[in-house]
Amino acid sequence: MRRRLFWIIAIVLLGLTVHLAYVLFVPNMEMNRIMSAAAETHGSNRFLVLDEQEAAQVLGQQSLAFVQGICVLDLAQGPVLVTLETPASYWMANVYSRKGDNIYSLNDRQVSEVPFSIVVERKKARLFTFELEETAPEDAAFRVSTGDRSGLFVVRVFVQDPAYRTRITRTLERSTCKAQLTAEAIQVPGSARTP
């Protein structure tokens, strides 16, 4: 009887461990896969408009109703400036954390002028450090702070008519995503000034 009880408890504990591991780690692994798939092909801090096949591979869903653009955010060197050129259509932009959480959303009704900029920056942990304030990044309409070193920017533009797809893609391709090097990152130790 005791032996049977022991195995039942052991199975329950193993089941609980597997359950938690699956729920907590598999989504993170999948988000890492999404970001790696995009970064390996096109690099970080680069804006990319996905074709239909890439959208299925990277974002896991292909929809002819959207033109989708992404930028893998690498915030290790400093803030990243996303400048969006969006067509006059319904669109939505999202910033996802490294865990896949949607930490910022924006749509066409919140923006009066295009192109416009979004700065994504990393929250500074200032505890026990005494740092000078860094130069504020280029002025931007919207500012997003995250605790992660990396993330994913996704913009989806609704295609009202398939005939507009090429035009929407071309407009969206004018968007940019680039790292804004902070003064700290630009400074090269030991570099000499030339007269």
Partner 1 sequence: MPLFLIAGIGTGLATASQVIQGNVGDFSVNNGPWRTWPAAGSPNIDPYTRGHFLVYGRLPMSTFEAVEYIATADSEGSKLDPSCNYVIQGPMAPARWWRLTARQNDSHEIAPAESVLSQTALIEPNNHIKVVASREPQPGNWLRMPSQSYLEFTLTLFSPASSVKSGHAPVPLPKIVKEACS
| Site residues, partner 1 (CB under 8 A) | 7, 10-24, 26-28, 30-31, 33-34, 56-57, 59-65, 90, 92, 94, 96, 99-103, 105, 107, 109, 152, 154, 158, 160, 162
Q: Between 52 and 134, whose beta carbon lies closer to partner 1?
A: 52
Which residues make Cβ contacts (< 8 Å) with residue 14, sequence separation at least 6?
A: none
Q: State the nearest-atom distance from the C-beta of 101 to partner 1, in Å.
A: 6
CB of 35 to partner 1, least distance (A): 11
Residue 140 burial (CB count, 10 A): 19
CB within 8 A of 144, min separation 6: which ones? 95, 103, 104, 118, 119, 120, 121
Least distance from C-beta 60 to partner 1, angstroms? Answer: 3
CA distance 150 to 146: 9
Residue type, 139: D
Compute the least distance from the CB of residue 166 to partner 1, in Å.
16
**Closer of 167 and 183 to partner 1 (Cβ):** 167
Q: Least Å distance between CB 54 and partner 1? A: 11
Q: Which is nearer to partner 1, 26 or 181 (CB)?
A: 26
User: How does DSSP assign 144-178, residue by residue?
Assistant: EEESSSEEEEEEEEE-SSGGGHHHHHHHHTT-EEE
Q: 57 or 176: whose CB is closer to partner 1?
A: 57
Q: By C-beta, is 109 or 193 nearer to partner 1? A: 109
Q: Are 57 and 36 in contact (CB under 8 A)?
A: no
